[in-house]
Amino acid sequence: MKLRGLLLLSLLAVAASLSAGTGRMIIVNTDAPGVGLNDSTPAVPIAGNAGTTLGQQRRNVLEFAAQRWTTQLDTDVDIRVRANFQSMDCDDTGVVLAAANSVTWSANFTNAPRENVWYPAALANKFAGRDLTPNDADIFVMFNLAMDTEACRGDRGWYYGLNVDEGNDESLLTVALHEIGHGLGMSGRGIDFFDNRPTVYDLHMLDLTAGRTWDQLTPQQRKVSSTNTGKLVWNGPNVTAKAAQLLRRPPVLTAGVKNYDVGTASFGPALSIASMSGRVVPAVDANNEEGPLTTDGCTQYDNAADVAGKISLVDRGTCTFVQKALMAQAAGAVGLVIIDNRKEANCVNVPPSMSGSDPAVHIPVMSLTQDDGTELRGQATDNTVNALLRLDPTRMAGASEGYLRLYAPCTFSSGSSLYHWDTTASPNLLMEPFISGDLLDSVDLSIYQMMDIGWTQWPRTGRRVLRR
């Protein structure tokens, strides 16, 4: 009787849960006893993670990541994530951190929004209102166990805090959020559709040059589109609307009668409207070990008196961006423009973003493409070119024609699939390919990408979900 009562209560609880549309994301631990998620090695609680064993801390991170996603997605069907840690490649040159995707993809099921379109398992289940493949999980994700071994990363490894203060370690939380995002639907088959049918993702990949989405292109056209830098975008209405609120206005440098697109730095002051103006003066420094060019700005300027109170112009290379900024600052420059020292032939080149950090940098630093920089340098030789750095109120950083760009590098594949936002987006986004270190633990615009493919936002009344 008691057992029956408990069973009834349990069923009522489950029913209440389902009727509220609160399907959970459940981490299905497939590690063997004592390994990975079950590692019993004692661990000291860290940054919101109260786990006292390695395995417990790992589980806590994954459950935290799962919660991050599911508190913002509305589904009546539980999402099961099969997770484990296993040894993957690691050597002196590189490491495999994690792998993930949807376990299955389904088409033409009950309530499928479109015929002959592949949907990832969790989303297909949501539409169908039941688990279409009850014998397996919906998403799989695995992490490299070797990361925590001396042989792989020395004294570095996974960071298990529930914040983003990973220091020299690698945030398991950020990688887990990113990988689960792929499993929920930021994924597909690439140029060659399986069985000639697109995924739901392909329906929203718009090539601005062709004026068509990927499901409307031939494989050959999709191949061309995959490297159409800046012109391959996401056309979903939710991302497009939110991008206008979230993305920053890109800075532009006006010199003479021309506007130059500029790349930004992760250090120095934030660029604001009319944050800097002045004459542009090419810096001259010594040709020495720290910088073999007299234009690289790696050492103390020879023409500091000319540069003081003006905008310094130097070439990229040899020393760090921060070092160049400190040298320009020491010379009294009010800003620094760094010219890229290479370009990709037959590509749309974009001014590089610049990494680094040093709180001592207090002047704005920006970059130009090699072509633009060469042109500006040509004008600046007599020190009479005035420049104004401002934000362009008509555009968004990382968008083209109002649409968020997808990553479609022109030639060199620097390590990305198409299922990422472009790296020119600012602020950096979770689903960019490089998984930048300055991310917060939010799912930013990616939650709206999920809505575009059919997920609905939790709660249905529409809670503000941006946490940046």
Partner 1 sequence: MTRRLIAVAAVFVLTALSAHAANPARSREAAMPLEESASLRALFDLAPGVVETQDGETVTAFAMEVVVARIGPDGELIKGCVSSHDEAKKFFAAPVEKIERAEGHEH
Least Å from the CB of residue 12 to partner 1: 28
Least Å from the CB of residue 48 to partner 1: 23
Q: Which of these segments, 20-28, 224-232, 303-311, 415-423, binds partner 1 (CB under 8 A)?
A: 415-423
The tally of CA atoms less than 13 A away on the side-chain side of residue 316 is: 22
Q: Per rule CB under 8 A, is residue 291 in the interface with partner 1? A: no
Least Å from the CB of residue 418 to partner 1: 8
Distances (CA, A) of 100 to 83, 179, 181, 190, 395: 9, 6, 9, 16, 34
CA distance 354 to 361: 13
Q: Per rule CB under 8 A, is residue 86 in the interface with partner 1? A: yes
Q: Per rule CB under 8 A, is residue 289 in the interface with partner 1? A: no
- The residue from 56, 70, 106, 238 that contacts partner 1 (CB under 8 A) is 106
The b-or-e profile of 406-419 (16+ CB within 10 A means b, else e) is bbbbbeeeeebebb
Distances (CA, A) of 293 to 168, 181, 299, 380: 32, 45, 10, 18
Q: Which of these segments, 125-133, 225-233, 304-312, 438-446, binds partner 1 (CB under 8 A)?
A: 125-133
Q: Per rule CB under 8 A, is residue 430 in the interface with partner 1? A: no
Please state the φ and ψ torsions of residue 28, each to the nearest 5 degrees: -100, 105
Centroid of chain to Cα 73: 20
Least Å from the CB of residue 182 to partner 1: 4
ω into residue 427 within 30 of 0, thus cis?
Answer: yes
- The residue from 96, 210, 224, 391 that contacts partner 1 (CB under 8 A) is 96
CB-nearer residue toward partner 1: 178 or 310: 178
Please state the φ and ψ torsions of residue 18, each to the nearest 5 degrees: -70, -40
Centroid of chain to Cα 189: 20
- The residue from 74, 179, 306, 441 that contacts partner 1 (CB under 8 A) is 179
Q: Per rule CB under 8 A, is residue 128 in the interface with partner 1? A: yes
CB-nearer residue toward partner 1: 318 or 374: 318
Q: Per rule CB under 8 A, is residue 58 in the interface with partner 1? A: no
Q: Per rule CB under 8 A, is residue 195 in the interface with partner 1? A: yes
- The residue from 26, 99, 210, 284 that contacts partner 1 (CB under 8 A) is 99
Distances (CA, A) of 444 to 62, 243, 329, 450, 464: 18, 10, 35, 11, 11
Q: Per rule CB under 8 A, is residue 29 in the interface with partner 1? A: no
Q: Per rule CB under 8 A, is residue 293 in the interface with partner 1? A: no
Q: Per rule CB under 8 A, is residue 158 in the interface with partner 1? A: no
Q: Which of residues 377-396 bind partner 1 (CB under 8 A)?
A: none
Least Å from the CB of residue 382 to partner 1: 30
Q: Per rule CB under 8 A, is residue 234 in the interface with partner 1? A: no
CA distance 113 to 209: 28
Q: Per rule CB under 8 A, is residue 227 in the interface with partner 1? A: no
Q: Per rule CB under 8 A, is residue 71 in the interface with partner 1? A: no
CA distance 213 to 66: 31
Contacts of residue 337, defined as CB under 8 A and 6 or more positions apart, other chains included, come to: 253, 262, 280, 311, 312, 313, 314, 366, 367, 368, 373, 376, 387
SS3 244: helix
CA distance 393 to 325: 26
CB-nearer residue toward partner 1: 295 or 457: 295
Residues binding partner 1: what is the number (CB under 8 A)?
Answer: 83
- The residue from 21, 45, 48, 190 that contacts partner 1 (CB under 8 A) is 190
Least Å from the CB of residue 414 to partner 1: 4
Q: Which of residues 256-275 bind partner 1 (CB under 8 A)?
A: 263, 266
Q: Which of residues 337-356 bind partner 1 (CB under 8 A)?
A: 342, 352-356
CA torsion, ordered 158, 71, 435, 104, to nearest 10 deg: 90
Q: How far apart are the first and last CA of the chain?
A: 51
Contacts of residue 310, defined as CB under 8 A and 6 or more positions apart, other chains included, come to: 278, 279, 280, 281, 333, 334, 383
Q: Per rule CB under 8 A, is residue 33 in the interface with partner 1? A: no
Q: Per rule CB under 8 A, is residue 433 in the interface with partner 1? A: yes
- The residue from 83, 100, 281, 331 that contacts partner 1 (CB under 8 A) is 100
Q: Which of residues 435-454 bind partner 1 (CB under 8 A)?
A: 435
- The residue from 69, 255, 420, 449 that contacts partner 1 (CB under 8 A) is 420
Q: Which residue from 228, 238, 108 is spatially nearest to 217, judged by alpha carbons?
A: 228
Q: Which of residues 295-334 bind partner 1 (CB under 8 A)?
A: 316-321
- The residue from 220, 245, 270, 412 that contacts partner 1 (CB under 8 A) is 412
Least Å from the CB of residue 268 to partner 1: 14
Centroid of chain to Cα 253: 26
